């Protein structure tokens, strides 16, 4: 297999793992509060990635955690965790997952508006088309509208803020530390819901404890395979495979939760996937073209 083919297979595996994690969390939310789930999963992920970072050559750089960008990134991570998990618990898995796929479009918009990166008419068009797909799914003011859709939209905005901030962080702040601190932010967000929101803490049964462990394992598997895929493959080649998460989510929604996404929802999901995939492919192509044209030793940032 070529590197791009291996990367595509790993990306698809990672997206399947994320979809399974979402499905398990939705099931768990029926008997365990959102706050408790975030506390347990956040502490578990923080412990695993923290131990990995501690054993790395650079070790734990605690002072990096108080960098304003890291603090803002973790705040966005906490908001996203609360909103998306709540959206999963009160709405359809397929709809929440479809809305989540608008992230690349919002990232492109944020990079243009906030960071001042150049965006051509093709990507502006893909953004407009993709957001039209979001409207088809959400359909505010109709009987098909689900309150959880608003929470999913807020989660996407928080994810975009997180990723835009990440682009501006110093290179010496490692991705392992960022991931461990992000899980810690999830745990803090869950604790806030438990203490301030009055959400109860219960002792999970063996089945629920096992499901939480498997859910965390799926999340870690998804993260690791996605990272490996982006390192060994070209972004433009593997970008479309990120949307396989939506396919897996729809299948799980139908088989596990008896969801029946209507034609408008499926059409909107397809539009978002197509527009987002094109935007990611176009950006990767432009960045590759800029790198090839850049003179040796040039420090100019790609557009």
58-104 confidence digits (pLDDT tens):
777 778 888 999 999 999 999 999 999 999 999 999 999 999 988 88
297 pLDDT higher than 70: no
Contact in structure between 103 and 263 (CB atoms under 8 Å): no
Closest among 99, 72, 90 to 34, alpha carbons compared: 90
pLDDT given for residue 288 in this prediction: 65
Question: Looking at 4-18, 218-232, 242-256, which range is the least confident one?
Answer: 218-232
| 154 Cα distance to chain centroid | 12
**Mean pLDDT of all residues belonging to the chain:** 86
pLDDT given for residue 176 in this prediction: 82
Q: Work out the pLDDT band at 302, boundaries 50, 70, 90.
A: very low
111-121 confidence digits (pLDDT tens):
888 878 777 87
Count Cβ atoms below 10 Å from residue 301 Cβ, excluding itself: 10
301 pLDDT higher than 50: no
CA distance 272 to 262: 16
Contact in structure between 69 and 167 (CB atoms under 8 Å): no
The two structure tokens encoding residue 38: 């975030």
Residues near 273 by beta carbon (within 8 Å), at least 6 away in sequence:
101, 240, 243, 246
28-65 confidence digits (pLDDT tens):
999 999 999 999 999 999 999 888 888 877 777 778 88
- pTM, two decimals, is 0.85
């Amino acid at each position: 297999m070529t590197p791009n083919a291996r990367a595509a297979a790993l990306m698809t595996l990672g997206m399947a793992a994320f979809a399974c994690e979402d499905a398990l969390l939705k099931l768990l939310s029926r008997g365990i509060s959102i706050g408790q789930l975030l506390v347990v999963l956040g502490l578990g992920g923080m412990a695993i990635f923290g131990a990995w970072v501690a054993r790395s050559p650079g070790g734990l750089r605690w002072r990096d955690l108080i960098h304003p960008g890291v603090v803002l990134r973790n705040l966005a991570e906490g908001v996203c965790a609360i909103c998306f998990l709540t959206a999963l618990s009160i709405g359809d898995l397929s709809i929440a997952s479809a809305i989540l796929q608008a992230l690349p479009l919002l990232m492109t918009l944020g990079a243009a508006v906030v960071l001042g990166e150049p965006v051509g008419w093709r990507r502006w068009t893909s953004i407009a088309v993709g957001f039209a797909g979001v409207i088809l799914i959400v359909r505010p003011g109709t009987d098909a509208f689900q309150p959880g859709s608003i929470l999913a939209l807020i989660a996407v905005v928080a994810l975009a803020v997180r990723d835009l901030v990440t682009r501006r962080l110093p290179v010496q702040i490692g991705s392992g530390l960022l991931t461990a601190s992000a899980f810690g932010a999830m745990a803090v967000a869950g604790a806030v819901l438990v203490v301030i929101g009055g959400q109860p803490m219960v002792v999970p049964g063996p089945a629920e404890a096992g499901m939480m462990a498997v859910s965390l394992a799926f999340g870690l598997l998804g993260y690791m395979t996605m990272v490996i895929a982006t390192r060994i493959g070209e972004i433009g080649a593997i970008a479309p495979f990120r949307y396989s998460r939506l396919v897996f989510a729809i299948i799980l929604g139908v088989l596990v939760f008896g969801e029946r996404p209507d034609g408008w929802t499926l059409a909107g999901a397809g539009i978002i996937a197509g527009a987002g995939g094109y935007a990611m492919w176009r950006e990767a192509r432009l960045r590759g073209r800029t790198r090839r044209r850049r003179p040796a030793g040039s420090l100019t940032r790609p557009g």
